[in-house]
Amino acid sequence: MLPPVFGVLFDGLAYGMLLFLLSVGQSVTLGMMNFINLAHCSFAMLGGYVTATLMNRYGWPFFATLPCAFIGAAVVSVAFERTLFRRLYRAGELDQVLLTIGIVFISVAVAAYIFSTDQQPLQLPPYLRTSFTFMGIRFAAYRLILIALALAITVALVLGIEYTRFGAKVRAAVDNERMARGLGIDVGRTFAITFALGSGLAGLGGALAIEIVGLDPSFAFTYLIYVLIVVSVGGLGSISGSFAAAIVLGISDVAGKYYIPQLGAFLIYLVMISLLMWRPLGLLGRR
Amino acid sequence: MTATEATMSPRLYLQAQTRWRPAEIVFWLATLLPYLLFPDYLSLASQIAITGLFAMSLDLILGYAGIVSLGHAAFFGVGAYTAGLLSKYGWGEPLSGLVVAAAAAAIVGYATSFVICRFRHLALIMLTLGFGLLLKELANSAGWLTGGMDGLQGIHTWKLLGRFAFDLYGYVAYSYALAVLFVLFLFARRLIHSPFGLSLRGIRENFVRMPAIGAPSRAHIRTIYTIAAAIAGVAGAVLAQTTETVSLDSLDFERSAEVVVILVLGGPGRLYGGLIGAIVFMVARDQFSGIEPQYWYFWIGILLVGVVLFLPNGILGGLAKLTSLWSRS
């Protein structure tokens, strides 16, 4: 028999994995272009709505909708990047914050217009809704799959960044953008692809999040804050940093809500401020 | 810039800056128009004055010192709750309530300023955001004191100066809010045209180089952050006293974001930017409020994207550009 703390750890881990999927793209693109994209969670929300619509209206199976959530978020985000965001790479942080907050406002309003402000219902297949008990701890099948999926993506990301030609370009651009340009790397193109991939992962995260945290138009705002916390605590441009930060944050959030519910979200904000004050560049930030 | 301006001594330059321009006098006279033209909208006018004051306090740190804050509502909320609690527990005198609220917000601002002055860029934005969220959660969990989600009930504001009761039409409320706004505006105007105000602009342009010419960047940032917090607290207190309610949304992230929108719409770094922005924004919201609120957010979004892309210094920046084009031709 294991004490209940392991159950909390398991749920926290699943939640942390979700946060990691939502924020990893933001971390890499921020590290590359120093572009503060607050609309990142709007793309995640888009992915969530793609999955909800395909399942509820067209009866697609859950797993078939996930690639569509990824592709939908990636395509829309790259359209925004090419038309709007790229104008502001050289602008100050205030302009970037304002433009992207504007897009968040628009996306929230559009989502409320199309889908109403209600929570989206999601009927998962029965085999995902089961759970089993192992040594006194209840493991939900869905959370196990979520963790496995996120771990697989993490491994793929780390390997991709470390061993592929494209990954090398991304690392070069994050480390020193001007030098990378000087070596003939098309940073703009690399960035656009990275941006699309990151937003696609966010879209996937948004689709996977429906079962755990629900989906309504306020998603873009609520999870924006969590993503920013993960990114700034983890350190810009660092995949492993985001991974560590997401797990710390997920576990402390779930544990805080389990053990001291009257504090609410107070604990994670406290964790974030203390971590930022201790290491302003993030846990594994280099700059 | 003409030759006389370039050779002007610093003292004369600052004196020239403090001189009242005709447009400013017209602006302040126009704030009296609501009494004559829109007597039914005086409570809206007092809301505008409060929002304008709040935006002006943000302008001091964002427009002048270059500190982008996404958590400025924290001080607004501290002021509102202080004034509300004071009145709930038996002291409803408005003017002394303002002083206490300003002091409470200034204390919170001074305490956080030690962290704020050490950071720039993304970490700074995140810290201001974090402090704002932290304070809201604190107010939410301290339900025995703040009333939690239900808001603070049972506030009763005494008669202003012992004579003027706050009425339903908002005559007293608007006069009170406008007077507070004007007094604090004079203070802020004096402040930014002082050598201290000039060095703030220097910090905005180059944080690292200012200490080299003898201006301690961090100490200046702590000072202006505390002052801005106190003014935001006064704005919150005026809202609490005139509406006699305080709710948790005075501490919301949305409120922090909204005041940044208002300031940027009007034009940051001009002191009047927050006031103009508040007028345009609040009147537009009042007109749109017949429609569903979620569509209102759509228009704010469009507005923000438009301002960033086409009007980088807000309405006042656009006007200044137009007038300079006009005088050149």
Domain ranges within chain B, ordered by starting residue: 38-328
Each residue's pLDDT tens digit, B180-238: 999 999 999 999 888 888 888 888 888 788 888 888 888 888 999 999 999 999 999 99
The residue of chain A nearest to residue B129, with distances taken between CA atoms, is A225
Q: What is the DSSP string of A211-227?
A: HHH---TTHHHHHHHHH
Domain total of chain A = 1
Question: Rounded to whole angstroms, how far apart are CA atoms B82 and B101?
Answer: 5
Closest among B111, B132, B105, B142 to A272, alpha carbons compared: B132
**If you count them, how many residues does chain B have?**
329
Closest among B105, B52, B110, B48 to B80, alpha carbons compared: B105
Paired with A138 in beta bridges are A133
pLDDT 10s digit of each residue in chain A, 287 long? 556 777 788 888 888 988 998 888 888 777 777 788 888 889 999 999 998 888 888 878 888 888 898 999 999 999 988 888 888 877 777 888 888 888 988 888 888 888 877 777 777 777 777 777 777 677 778 888 888 888 898 888 888 888 888 888 888 887 787 888 888 888 888 888 888 888 998 899 888 888 888 888 888 888 888 888 888 788 777 788 888 888 988 888 888 878 877 766 777 788 778 877 777 776 666 54
Asked if residue A4 is part of any domain, the answer here is no
Which candidate in B133, B146, B249 is best for mutational testing of the A interface (most A CBs within 10 A)? Answer: B133
Domain that includes residue A167, residue range: 20-219
The minimum CA-CA distance between B237 and chain A, rounded to whole Å, is: 25
User: What is the b/e burial string over A123-143, where b = at least 16 CB atoms within 10 angstroms of the residue's CB?
Assistant: eeeeebeeeeeeeebebbebb
Cβ-nearest to A103 among B62, B295, B301: B301
Each residue's pLDDT tens digit, B92-110: 788 888 999 999 999 999 9
**3 state DSSP class of B164:** strand
Residues B48/B279, Cβ–Cβ less than 8 Å: yes
Q: How far is CA B63 from the centre of its chain?
A: 11
CB contacts, 8 Å: A45 with chain B = none
Q: From 1.10.3470, 1.10.287, 3.30.70, 1.10.357, which CATH number describes the B38-328 domain?
A: 1.10.3470
Q: If you average pLDDT over residues B270-280, what whole number do you get?
A: 90
Answer whether A88 sits within 8 Å of B308, measured CB to CB: yes
User: What separation in angstroms does the CA of A101 have from each of A36, A220, A260, B52, B323?
Assistant: 10, 10, 32, 21, 30
CB contacts, 8 Å: A109 with chain B = 294-298, 301
Asked if residue A160 is part of any domain, the answer here is yes
Amino acid at B107: I
Question: Rounded to whole angstroms, how far apart are CA atoms A36 and A29?
Answer: 9
Residues B266/B99, Cβ–Cβ less than 8 Å: no
Each residue's pLDDT tens digit, B66-78: 888 888 999 999 9
Each residue's pLDDT tens digit, B109-154: 999 988 888 877 777 888 888 888 888 888 887 777 777 777 777 7
The residue of chain B nearest to residue A262, with distances taken between CA atoms, is B141
The residue of chain B nearest to residue A102, with distances taken between CA atoms, is B301
The residue of chain A nearest to residue B307, with distances taken between CA atoms, is A99
Answer whether A99 sits within 8 Å of B305, measured CB to CB: yes
Task: Report the 3 state secondary structure along B87-122.
Answer: HHCCCCCHHHHHHHHHHHHHHHHHHHHHHHCCCCHH
Asked if residue A122 is part of any domain, the answer here is yes
Asked if residue A242 is part of any domain, the answer here is no
- B2 pLDDT tier (thresholds 50, 70, 90): very low
Please report the pLDDT score of residue A194 as a whole number. 86
Q: Which of A97-106, B46-55, B281-290 has the highest mean pLDDT?
A: B46-55
User: What separation in angstroms does the CA of A10 have from each of A16, A139, A144, A147, A187?
Assistant: 10, 8, 9, 9, 39
Q: How far is CA B234 from the centre of its chain?
A: 10
Out of A172-176, B83-87, B101-105, B282-286, pick the least confident.
A172-176
Q: If you average pLDDT over residues B284-304, what whole number do you get?
A: 77
Q: Is residue B1 scored above 50 in pLDDT?
A: no
Within a 13 Å sphere around the CA of A74, how many CA atoms are in the beta-carbon half? 17
Output DSSP code: residue B1.
Answer: -
The minimum CA-CA distance between A84 and chain B, rounded to whole Å, is: 9
Question: Rounded to whole angstroms, how far apart are CA atoms B307 and B156?
Answer: 41
Percent of chain B with pLDDT over 90: 23
Q: What is the DSSP string of B3-68?
A: HHHHT--HHHHHHHHHSPPHHHHHHHHHTTHHHHH-GGGHHHHHHHHHHHHHHHHHHIIIIIT---
Amino acid at A86: R
Answer whether B261 sits within 8 Å of A262, measured CB to CB: no
Within a 13 Å sphere around the CA of A227, how many CA atoms are in the beta-carbon half? 33
